[in-house]
Amino acid sequence: MVAREADVSVATVSRVLNGKGPVRAETRERVLAAVAHLGYVPHSAARSLSTRRTMSIGVLLPDMHGEFFSELVRGIDLAARGAGYHLLVSGSHSDPTEAVAVLQALHGRVDGLILMTPALGGGASLRRSLPRRVPVVLLNDHGSGGGHDTLRIDNRLGARLAVDHLLGLGHREIAFISGPVDNSDALERLQGYRESMRAHGSPPQPRLELPGDFGEESGARAGEEIARLAARPTAIFAANDAMAIGCLAALRDRGLSVPADVSIVGFDDIPIARYLTPALTTVHVPIAELGRRAMGRLLETIEGPPDRPAVHAVIAPTLAIRASAIAAARVRELQKLQKQSRTKRRTSS
């Protein structure tokens, strides 16, 4: 129908719609005009039979909740749509068994896979379950990649940037809110925190290392515990922004001010971080860019030579300095002024 309208061959229409093969600009414009005039929509199933592609990409994440994952999927989707692909997205809830079930469900339905596998010990079993001859990119995988492309964040560097910043502001009592104990990203951020503390002659204290699970509620629980401490730290480093936000809310509920009473630094730089009050100082991870780069790597593998070597890339985070962390001396000065103000009010009454 389109070929007849444009007065070209069916093969020429196919080349124009698939973006494959040489076509003169005048002919391409004629075909596209015919497509628009007829309201033609290419039949994806028929195209899949001819190209042996589904034009779909599977994305498997440990969770679907939170701004980090939505921003990551946004980056993947923008790159995928630009190349004519659609996404099939699923979460494993950090359960390796469920992740394997998702991979089995995606078998034969996608042209490539993007997997995030931060759970300790779960990555190896997942790699063994990957379908053969399907291109794969592993995000935040801390193994060798098993011959697949890998792309990960330098978590230890990011943690050191955060703690170095607080130490540079004069803080010596710095609490740390950790992520899940079975999560490799969380473990690396804990290692970075400890490395930075030791390097500055301030060995980490077990009482200041509080458990978390990357969720807001665990950050709030940690904030409540910190608020109850007799010797309260002057600064807090949370292993992700969600916990930093929960902690900030809990401290406020306890009558403490950020940063006047305690400074807070997070990790990830999710979009809401800059709009908090105060705006959150945090380790900046280019989340959407991470997704875009992962999709770019996958497309190179799908459309490139079969013997293309695996690429292993590490993204170095940076520090986004905002208002939630100030100098320890300034904290002490503000606390002194607050104490004087309270004393004055009691005296005048």
Q: What is the mean pLDDT of each run of 10 residues along the chain (349 residues)?
A: 76 70 80 74 50 86 91 96 94 84 88 84 66 88 78 97 97 96 94 97 92 97 96 96 98 95 97 97 97 96 86 96 92 71 72
Residue spans of the domains in the chain: they are 2-42, 54-154+287-313, 155-286+320-342
Q: Report helix, strand or coil for 177.
A: strand
Q: Report helix, strand or coil for 299.
A: helix
CATH number belonging to domain 155-286+320-342: 3.40.50.2300
The pLDDT assigned to 100 comes to 86
Q: Is the domain 2-42 a CATH 3.90.400.10 member?
A: no
pTM: 0.81
Contact call for residues 40 and 1 (beta carbons, < 8 A): yes
* Tokens describing residue 278: 């105060």
Phi, psi of 25 (to 5 degrees): -55, -40
The pLDDT assigned to 9 comes to 80
Contact call for residues 232 and 206 (beta carbons, < 8 A): no
54-154+287-313: CATH topology: Rossmann fold (3.40.50)
- Quick check: do 54-154+287-313 and 155-286+320-342 share a fold? yes
Q: Is 233 left (phi over 0), alpha (psi -120 to 50) or beta?
A: beta
If one counts every other C-beta atom within 10 angstroms of the C-beta of residue 154, the result is: 16
d(CA 215, CA 208): 19
The pLDDT assigned to 45 comes to 45
Give, in degrees to the nearest 5, the angle at Cα 102 between 48 and 106.
10
The pLDDT assigned to 180 comes to 94
Q: Report helix, strand or coil for 278.
A: coil
